[in-house]
Every structure is written in structure tokens, then in C-alpha cells.
């Protein structure tokens, strides 16, 4: 297994064509988001493993032994990665025996997922913002904590998905809802590729069930579409009814379903 760097990563685009539900994979290949890219043969790759902030993506020929052996060494050798901490996404069910092999006789858990897309916000979020709250695009001063405190979860997310807040602002965006200097809900761009992006949404537990998630997500989606994106994506687990309803309230429609796997070695 060989790791690709820089623009060399783009040779894996063809191998990863079947991972249409994983924009994060294409974003890493294009160098928009941080991540790692491995192939069985850099001169003529037939299989690839792309490690993104969202998880590990497997694509191509599952019979590529060099990649499978390399995966086991990657997770077992450095101590930096653990199977139980990395969700896997695959381009076909043919990879399932490989995941089972990597589990060393353990369990491979399957979690059904949904992908929603939005091309037009149908919710008038401005009318729904509570009078004492403020919702808007966050700038460099906000991300630096100069004007309000960022929750630790949000700071970790920025490092994981973008590396630095400067990279987020240069390539993506973020929207927060806050009461005075307390950030209670945030929706940040997860990844970008060409004219598409994906967002995530999180609301502090103490401030949920007040419509803030839909308000913040709608504002973020509207900003993305106004800034040049033609489509915005949203992922959630099948069982996460609240997330699905929030997406639909904003104007997202179900595009496809897919599966996420955890290797319980």
C-alpha cells in the first residue's frame, strides 16, 4: 500500500468514482480538506483507502491484497488509528468480507444512513430567530474567540475537518446562533468540492427543542447557495429522526441511502 501526497492524490479519483455519497472523499483527493490517501499501486491504482474527517472510504477492487495488508498494518502498527474509532464507507458490498477479515473474527456493525440535498432554502429563518438571539456568518474574530466563546466541541471540529480556522474561512464557512456571547447552535461547512458542499449542525443540549437547529442550518445553507454552491449536502443516521426532520424543514430532500460500518476488532 502506498500513500499519495499533494496533487498525486488525484490519480485515485477514478477508483473512488463509486463513492458518490461521500463528498468528503472527493474533497480530500482534491486537497480541499485534510486527510490521507492510500492506493495499492500509484502508477495504476485499482483500489484506494481515503481517510477523511468523516471516516475511511474504501473503493475499487477488494481483491487488491496490497491495500488490505497495508490497512491492517496502518491500524495496528502506529497506534494512531483504531478500527473502533473510524467508520468505514464502501463503494460496494464486495468490501464486506474484507471488513470482516480486518475485524479478526470480531463483529462488523452496520448503520443505515441518509443523504439529503438542498438547492433552495424553503424556510424563512429570519422570522424565526428569537428577539434576544442573533444568527449570522462567523468571521475570523469570532473563530478566534475575540467576540464570543467557542464551545470546545466546535474548536475540535475545526481542527479535525480543516486543520485551522483560517483554512475554514478560506475554503468554507460557519454560521452560529448565540445569545449575547454564548454560542448555542452552530452549522459549519464540513467539506467542499467544486460547486458542492456539506454542512453539519449541532445545538447545545440545554438549548434544543427551540427551533435553533433549523434556523442555524437554514442560514448556513442559504449562505452556501449565495456564495456559489449549487447544492448543499446533509448526512444523518437512519434512526436520527430529529436530524432528518430538521433537514426537511429547511428544504432538503432525500437523495439516497447508504451504509456506514464499524469494525469491532
Structure confidence at residue 84 (pLDDT):
66
Give the model's pLDDT for residue 210: 85
Q: Are residues 140 and 15 in the same domain?
A: no
Please give the Cα distance from 117 to 162 (Å, whole number).
22
Q: Read off the pTM.
A: 0.90
Strands 36-39 and 47-51: antiparallel
Query: Is the residue at 7 inside a domain?
Result: yes
Q: What pLDDT is stored for residue 77 in this prediction?
A: 58
For position 153, what pLDDT does the model report?
A: 78
- Which helix (H) or strand (E) segment holds residue 71: the answer is helix 65-77
Question: Which of 74, 102, 130 corresponds to the end of one domain?
Answer: 102
Q: Which of 53, 68, 102 is the last residue of a domain?
A: 102
Q: 138 with 242, same domain?
A: yes
| Phi and psi based region of residue 187 (left: phi greater than 0; alpha: psi -120 to 50; beta: remaining) | beta
Q: Which residues contact 100 (CB under 8 A, 6 or more apart)?
A: 108
82 and 120 in a common domain = no
Q: Examine residue 21 and state whether it is found in any structural domain, yes or no.
A: yes
Task: Answer whether residue 110 is part of any domain.
Answer: no
Q: Which of 121, 62, 124 is nearest to 93 (CA)?
A: 62
Beta-strand ranges (E) seen in 119-211 are 134-137, 174-179, 182-193, 196-203
Strand ranges (DSSP E) for 42-106?
47-51, 56-60, 88-90
Same domain, 120 and 203: yes
Residue 14 resides in a domain: yes
**Nearest residue to 55 via CA among 235, 257, 241, 253:** 235
Residue 9 has what pLDDT? 92
In a domain, 199, yes or no: yes
- Domain finish residue from 69, 102, 135: 102
**Is residue 190, in this structure, part of any structural domain at all?**
yes
CATH code for the domain in which residue 11 is found: 3.40.630
Q: pLDDT value at position 171? A: 92
Q: Do 123 and 241 belong to one domain?
A: yes
In DSSP terms, 200 is beta-bridged to: 188
Give me the average pLDDT of each 10-residue run along the chain (265 residues).
Answer: 92 94 95 94 94 94 88 71 81 92 84 97 94 87 65 82 90 90 90 95 87 95 96 96 95 96 84
- pLDDT, position 121: 97
Residues 82 and 142 in one domain: no
Domain count along the chain = 2
Q: Please tell me whether residues 248 and 172 are part of one structural domain.
A: yes
Q: What is the model's pLDDT at position 49?
A: 95
Residues 248 and 122 in one domain: yes
Termini Cα distance of the chain: 21
Residues 124 and 96 in one domain: no
Q: What is the pLDDT of residue 265?
A: 66
Which residue range forms the structural domain that includes residue 47?
2-102
Residue 188 included in any domain: yes
**Is residue 153 located within the same domain as residue 241?**
yes
Let me know whether 29 and 123 are in one domain. no
How many CB atoms are located within 10 Å of the residue 56 CB?
A: 24
Q: Which three cell numbers mark 252?
A: 432538503
Residue 109 lies in a domain: no
- CATH assignment at residue 174: 3.40.630.30
pLDDT of residue 147: 61
How many CB atoms neighbour CB 120 within 10 A? 10
Domain identity same for 92 and 186: no
Which helix (H) or strand (E) segment holds residue 126: the answer is none
Amino acid at each position: 500500500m502506498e500513500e499519495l501526497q499533494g496533487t498525486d492524490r488525484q490519480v485515485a479519483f477514478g477508483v473512488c468514482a463509486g463513492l458518490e455519497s461521500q463528498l468528503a472523499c472527493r474533497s480530500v483527493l482534491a486537497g480541499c480538506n485534510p486527510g490521507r490517501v492510500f492506493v495499492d499501486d500509484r502508477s495504476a491504482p485499482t483500489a484506494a483507502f481515503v481517510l477523511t474527517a468523516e471516516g475511511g472510504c474504501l473503493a475499487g477492487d477488494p481483491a487488491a491484497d496490497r491495500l488490505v495488508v497495508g490497512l491492517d498494518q496502518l491500524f495496528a502498527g502506529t497506534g494512531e488509528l483504531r478500527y473502533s474509532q473510524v467508520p468505514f464507507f464502501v463503494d460496494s458490498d464486495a468490501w464486506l468480507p474484507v471488513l470482516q477479515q480486518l475485524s479478526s473474527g470480531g463483529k462488523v456493525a452496520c448503520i443505515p444512513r441518509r443523504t439529503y440535498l438542498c438547492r433552495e432554502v424553503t424556510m424563512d429563518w429570519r422570522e424565526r430567530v428569537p428577539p434576544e438571539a442573533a444568527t449570522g456568518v462567523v468571521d475570523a474574530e469570532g473563530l478566534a474567540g475575540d467576540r464570543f466563546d467557542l464551545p470546545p466541541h466546535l474548536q475540535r471540529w475545526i481542527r479535525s475537518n480543516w486543520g485551522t480556522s483560517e483554512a475554514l474561512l478560506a475554503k468554507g464557512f460557519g454560521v452560529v446562533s448565540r445569545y449575547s456571547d454564548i454560542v448555542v447552535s452552530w452549522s459549519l461547512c464540513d467539506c467542499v468540492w467544486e460547486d458542492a458542499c456539506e454542512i453539519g449542525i449541532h445545538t447545545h443540549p440545554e438549548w434544543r427543542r427551540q427551533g435553533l437547529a433549523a434556523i442555524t442550518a437554514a442560514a448556513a445553507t442559504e449562505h452556501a447557495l449565495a456564495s456559489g454552491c449549487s447544492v448543499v449536502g446533509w448526512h444523518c443516521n437512519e434512526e436520527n429522526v430529529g436530524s432528518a426532520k430538521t433537514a426537511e424543514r429547511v428544504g432538503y430532500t432525500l437523495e439516497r441511502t447508504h451504509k456506514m460500518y464499524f469494525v469491532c476488532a
